[in-house]
Amino acid sequence: MVSEVRLGTAAGRWVVAATVLGSGMAMLDATVVNIALPAIADELDAGLSGLQWTLDGYLLTLASLILLGGSLADRFGRRRIFIVGTVWFALASLMCALAPTVSMLGAARALQGIGAALLTPVSLAILQTGLAPSDRARGIALWSGLAGVSTAIGPVVGGWLIDVASWRWIFAINLPIAAVVVAIALRYVPESRESVAPGRLDLTGAALGVGSLAGLTYGFIRWGEDGFDAVVGAALAAGAGGLAAFVLAELRQRRPMLPPRLFASRAFTGANLVTLGLYGALTAALFLLVVRLQDALDYSPLQAGMATVPITLLMLAGSDLAGQTAARIGPRLPLTVGPLVAGAGLALLGGVGPGDSYWTGVLPGVVVFGLGLTVVVAPLTATVLAAADDELAGIASGVNNAIARTGGLLGVAVVPLLAGGASGAAFRTAIWITAGLAAAAGVVGWLSLAGRRRAPEAARPTPPGPAAPPSPTPAETTLLGHAPPGAASPGSEPAGTAQAAAPHEYCCGADAPPMRPART
């Protein structure tokens, strides 16, 4: 029996604080590390491949294990897994802060991703199960608002830390935060788990997911660094074979972590393909842009962090309206227009070069890009959930989050390979590739949602109430965005999104809080 607390009490407010601080650590690391890359390269003498692994080590384990993290929370207790994930994340952060080489940093980042896969899926589940039913809507809205603020100020604070101290402090700062989170969780967060024992954990699927993505990522990054050779071929073959084995294993599993029947829906498959392309473009573009601003335009880390803040501000201001509009006209147009506009913004950013003013050379592309994301993100995740049966809504959101992170993982690995680098003339080519990827996502959205003129009934919001609390405002930065996604195996309730009790809570793909559905 879960001991529920009221939001108006001190205990209720401490529960919200624990979830905000815990998930906020992972959100901030996902956004701030980009800004630190030039400083990391200078101090650790890292090349492009080292910087790619600094990002992809984290995304690799997070994308592969986030669904498993939700299942573990259902089985062993949400507070317990939340605390374990927080401690793990903090220890891995310490390893990052002390890393003497870029290889050690990449390995520590992979360990950080494991902690985030345990930590982030549980944050909203704790609010959904730990607060009294009448307080859950307000608690989730409060969580989202505070998470939005932290996502907006994260790059600025991170850039300031790098300027006045060192890039190592963006990792070290997680230790005192984690200590506070654990202390609060132990004192105030009630334990909860599934009353019916979940089925067996899909460890085979998780292992195959990690192995296949690791093989592909290693192969693409090494190919870009040293050219194609037998090792690259073997790594790519192993990765492709691992993906095939993963699909076969999920088809045969009684309780797979990724139910293949979800993809029987053309809308679900299409929306996830849009997610894959859009987040691949987004993650690769931000990786390239922040380094470009510091290397070619001599921006300080603080200035580079502030340069992309308009994206977050646009998301905060406009995603609610975008959700309302999509609820009226259906998802097809937003899932087409949004990626196309985002691609146009990226194409503008391809022209950024030495001597450019921020106001004329950088800001226009950032604003257009942010507008495109604002149009597409809320309808995208709403479409994913609407295309799934109600009992699979949580796992559908978790799958969408995992796919978003996989898109980012592959984008960072593949785009520099295709462009022949990431700096100089290759920067423009690479950014244009990301623009083309975003535009292709828009085409997929148009084709896959043909005939959907109105928003599916499941995507339309219901009046606020205990059974269906209104979702909070988004804060997408990196979009890369972390919403605390995640879900459990189909045999149990999901542990990561707003849970089955709040089927209208839409999480955007990567590192951003849930979207607020349209109001009627």
Q: Could you tell me what percent of the chain has a pLDDT over 90?
A: 53
The better pLDDT of the pair 307, 319 is held by 307
Indicate whether 462 pLDDT > 50. no
Q: What is the mean pLDDT of residues 39-51?
A: 95
Among 434, 401, 381, 406, smallest CA distance to 511 is for: 401
Distance CA 140, CA 127 (A): 7
> What are the tokens at 436?
């083309």
pLDDT (tens digit, 9 = 90+) per residue, 443-457?
Answer: 999 999 876 655 444
196 falls in which pLDDT band (50, 70, 90)?
low
pLDDT band at 468 (very low <50, low <70, confident <90, very high): very low
Phi/psi zone of residue 227: left (φ > 0), alpha (ψ -120 to 50 degrees), beta?
A: left
pLDDT of residue 143: 74
Measured between its terminal Cα atoms, the distance across the chain in Å is 35
Tokens of 240: 């492709």
Strands 514-515 and 506-507: antiparallel
Mean pLDDT, residues 180-187 = 94
Phi, psi at residue 418, to the nearest 5°?
A: -65, -35
pLDDT above 70: percentage of residues in the chain: 83
> Residue 514 forms beta bridges with which residues?
507
Q: Which of 111, 131, 414, 446 is nearest to 274 (CA)?
A: 446
Predicted local distance difference test score (pLDDT) of residue 453: 55
Specify which of 28-37, 74-83, 244-253 reaches the highest per-range mean pLDDT: 244-253
β-strand partners of 177: none
Name which of 374, 380, 379, 369 is nearest 341 in CA terms: 369
pLDDT of residue 461: 39
Q: Are 289 and 306 in contact (CB under 8 A)?
A: no
Which of the pair, 16 or 51, is modelled with greater confidence?
A: 51
Q: For the residues 458-482, what does the mean pLDDT come to?
A: 35
Q: Given this model, what pLDDT does residue 517 score?
A: 36
Q: What is the pLDDT of residue 343?
A: 97
Q: How confident is the model at residue 335 (pLDDT cuts 50, 70, 90)?
A: very high
Token pair recorded at residue 451? 């005939």
SS3 484: coil
The yes-or-no verdict on residue 413 having pLDDT over 90 is yes
What is the b/e burial string over 72-87, where b = at least 16 CB atoms within 10 angstroms of the residue's CB? Answer: bbbbebbbbbbbbbbb
Confidence label for 141 from pLDDT (cuts 50, 70 and 90): low
Across 13-27, 308-322, 437-451, 464-478, the highest mean pLDDT is recorded for 437-451
What's residue 198's pLDDT? 59
Question: 199: exposed, middle or buried (C-beta count within 10 Å: 0-12, 13-18, 19+)?
Answer: middle
Residues 6 or more apart whose Cβ sits within 8 Å of residue 38: 291, 294, 295, 301
Average pLDDT over residues 445-470: 53
Q: What residues contact 389, with CB distance under 8 A and at least 6 apart?
A: none
Reading the block at residue 446, the tokens are 């148009």
Q: How confident is the model at residue 8 (pLDDT cuts 50, 70, 90)?
A: confident
Q: Is the pLDDT of residue 488 over 50?
A: no
Lowest mean pLDDT among 11-25, 449-463, 488-502: 488-502
Question: What is residue 442's predicted lDDT score, i.e. its pLDDT?
Answer: 96
CA distance 399 to 66: 9
Q: What are 25's two structure tokens?
A: 């650590």
Q: How confident is the model at residue 72 (pLDDT cuts 50, 70, 90)?
A: confident
Mean pLDDT of 377-391: 81
Q: What is the model's pLDDT at position 512?
A: 39
What is the pLDDT averaged over residues 463-478?
34
- pLDDT greater than 80 at residue 404: yes
Mean pLDDT of all residues in 287-305 = 94
Q: What is the predicted pLDDT for the residue at 456?
A: 46
80 Cα distance to chain centroid? 23
Mean pLDDT of 216-224: 96
Q: Residue 402 burial (CB < 10 Å; 0-12/13-18/19+)?
A: buried
Q: Both tokens of residue 428?
A: 């423009």
| Six token digits for residue 162 | 């790098």
pLDDT at 513 exceeding the cut of 70 = no
497 phi, psi to nearest 5 deg: -85, -155
Residue-wise pLDDT tens digits, 81-118: 999 999 999 999 999 999 999 999 999 999 999 999 98
Task: Give 378 or 159, the one with higher predicted confidence.
Answer: 159
How high is the mean pLDDT of the chain? 83
Rounded mean pLDDT, 177-186: 94
Q: Can you give the pTM of this predicted structure?
A: 0.84
- The 3 state secondary structure assigned to 119-155 is HHHHHHHHHHHHECHHHHHHHHHHHHHHHHHHHHHHH
| C-beta of residue 63 within 8 angstroms of C-beta of residue 406 | yes
Mean pLDDT of 358-369: 96
pLDDT of residue 127: 79
The alpha carbon torsion through 316, 476, 511, 457 (nearest 10 deg) reads: 70
The mean pLDDT value for 334-354 works out to 96
Provide CB contacts within 8 A for 51, sequence distance 6+. 37, 40, 41, 102, 287, 291
Distance CA 23, CA 12 (A): 17
Q: Which structure tokens are listed for 7?
A: 């939001």
Q: For residue 167, what are the contacts with CB-CB under 8 A and spacing of at least 6?
A: 36, 39, 40, 43, 161, 301
Q: Note whether 20 and 147 are within 8 A (CB).
A: yes
* Mean pLDDT confidence for 329-337: 92
How many whole angstroms separate alpha carbon 203 and alpha carbon 343?
A: 38
**pLDDT at 199 exceeding the cut of 70:** no
Q: Is the pLDDT of residue 514 over 50?
A: no
Encode pLDDT of 233-250 as tens digits.
999 999 999 999 999 999
The pair phi, psi for residue 131, each rounded to 5°, is: -90, 155
